[in-house]
Structure 1
Amino acid sequence: MADVGGIRHTVGMSIEVRPATVFDDVATIVGPKKPTSNVCFCLSYRLGSKENNELKGPERANRVKELCRQDPAPGVIAYLDDEPVGWAAVHPRRDTSFATNRRIPHVDDLDVWSLWCVRVRPGYRKQGIMHALVDGAVSYARERGAPAVEAYPVDNGGEKVDLTMAYVGTKALFEKAGFVQASETSSVLNGFPRVLMRLALT
């Protein structure tokens, strides 16, 4: 269940999904193994390409720390017995690169939220955490007034997706959460077409 204040979304008795306000927990899941690395922290879609490319090493971490202090938070984190085990990036589309992405169409003019990355730490997979993350991200967006949530997963038809590309999720994952396909896209990932899935919240 999700409480009205948006503090947590509980699945079963042990998985909780909370707003990503603790930087160290975000870093545990999506931070690079080397602090000097110029990748990940899930910034490539959250920021414009210019800023994303300019941020190097510790500057990336500092930018994420800033985002964790903002409202809304940059995403949600799943906790299993208080251990951070999963991450989902969800935020108003207008503040992401999807606002200008030419490969991902805009279905309409709604001020939708985008859900573009779902990641579970190795060793914690196949425990329902990914489904909990999607549900928790949707609850968080709903509590912050989002009219709808969009996702841009691959339509893999049940075929295996490379783990390095699996962060976008699959069409089947989002269908189980109640999303429906609203549009095709011209984006392809890991050889699979990406589709625009949407869940109306109002």
Structure 2
Amino acid sequence: MANSSEIVGAPLTEHTWADFEQVMGPDGGARGCWCMHWRMTYQQWERGRGAGNRATMRERAESDPPPGVVCYLDSEPVGWVAIGERSEYPRMQRSPVTKAIDHAPVWVISCVYVRRDHRGAGLHAPLIDAACRFAADQGQEIVEAVPVEPAGGKRAGADTAMTGMASAYLAAGFREVARRKSDRPVMRRTLRPVERPVLVTDRR
């Protein structure tokens, strides 16, 4: 099982795009999403499934700040965490479950994705921690997420589990601050002014 010190995060840019593609696989994650689920309306997302969503994310990766962090274990790309300002995710803002609980200037984690052949290795918490280090490096003070906490040991569906599991966030230093739905806690982590920085900033 990997720990946080073994996972290295690199912002998604043109230099890390090929590694992002390797993590997402030929289907672009789940059903041709390419991590565009929260960034557009359902109709836009559906029309772009596959190549369209990939092209839109590729264009977004060329803008600042980067839309998330590609994560590496022993220099091999193994995961992806989408993180950014709340305004980055209009669909999330419209949901009664995931919309803002206050006016705090948070960055939000909207997706935690582990490469298919590395699942079951305990990577979720280290990936989340890498995203928090990236946020701290960008001068952010609070990271928020609305993960899943299924009751009775049930498994979460792929569509709801994209934001990650509550247990992984607890392991990464988050705490619950609100709950609008029984299985969807709102969780936050307050970052120190200067955390251990992202170790990789430009993979050429």
Tell me the distance in 2 between the aligned counterparts of 1:193 and 1:56.
28
Q: CA deviation at 1:15?
A: 2.8
Q: 1:124 aligns with which of 118, 127, 136?
A: 118
Distance 1:159 1:200, change over 3 A: same
Identical aligned pairs, as a percentage?
30
Q: CA deviation at 1:32?
A: 4.5
Distance 1:90 1:70, change over 3 A: same
Q: How many matched pairs?
A: 185
Cross-structure match for 1:90? 83
Q: In 2, are the aligned partners of 1:94 and 1:111 still within 8 Å (CA)?
A: no
Q: In 1, are the aligned partners of 2:71 and 2:78 still within 8 Å (CA)?
A: yes
Cross-structure match for 1:30? 24
Q: CA deviation at 1:55?
A: 2.1
SS state at 1:195 partner: strand
Cross-structure match for 2:53? 60
Unaligned runs of at least 5 residues, structure 2: 193-204
Q: 1:43 aligns with which of 33, 36, 41?
A: 36
Tell me the distance in 1 between the aligned counterparts of 2:99 and 2:7.
34
Cross-structure match for 1:5? none
Q: 1:168 aligns with which of 163, 166, 184?
A: 163
Q: CA deviation at 1:56?
A: 4.4
Q: Please, what is the CA RMSD of the aligned residues?
A: 2.6
Q: In 2, are the aligned partners of 1:120 and 1:129 still within 8 Å (CA)?
A: yes
Q: Which amino acid aligns with 1:183?
A: A
Q: In 1, are the aligned partners of 2:147 and 2:185 still within 8 Å (CA)?
A: yes
- Which string of whole-angstrom CA distances, capped at 9 and with x for unpartnered residues, describes residues 66-115 of structure 1? 11111111111111222211111111111212233222242211221111
Q: 1:184 aligns with which of 166, 171, 179?
A: 179
The structure with the greater share of residues assigned to helix is 2
Tell me the distance in 2 between the aligned counterparts of 1:39 and 1:123.
18
Distance 1:69 1:81, change over 3 A: same
Cross-structure match for 1:140? 134
Cross-structure match for 2:195? none
Q: Which has the higher contact order (CA 8 A, sep 6+)?
A: 2
Q: CA deviation at 1:44?
A: 0.7
Which aligned segments of 4 or more residues in structure 1 are displaced greater than 6 angstroms?
none
Q: In 2, are the aligned partners of 1:31 and 1:41 still within 8 Å (CA)?
A: no
Tell me the distance in 2 between the aligned counterparts of 1:111 and 1:56.
31
Distance 1:54 1:79, change over 3 A: same
Q: 1:101 aligns with which of 95, 101, 105?
A: 95
- Where do residues 12-27 of structure 1 align in structure 2 (5 Å cutoff)? 12=5, 14-21=6-13, 22-27=16-21
TM-score of the pair, normalised by structure 2:
0.78
The structure with the greater share of residues assigned to strand is 1
Tell me the distance in 1 between the aligned counterparts of 2:92 and 2:27.
27
Q: CA deviation at 1:148?
A: 1.1
SS state at 2:161 partner: helix
Q: In 2, are the aligned partners of 1:32 and 1:41 still within 8 Å (CA)?
A: no
Cross-structure match for 2:199? none
TM-score of the pair, normalised by structure 1:
0.79
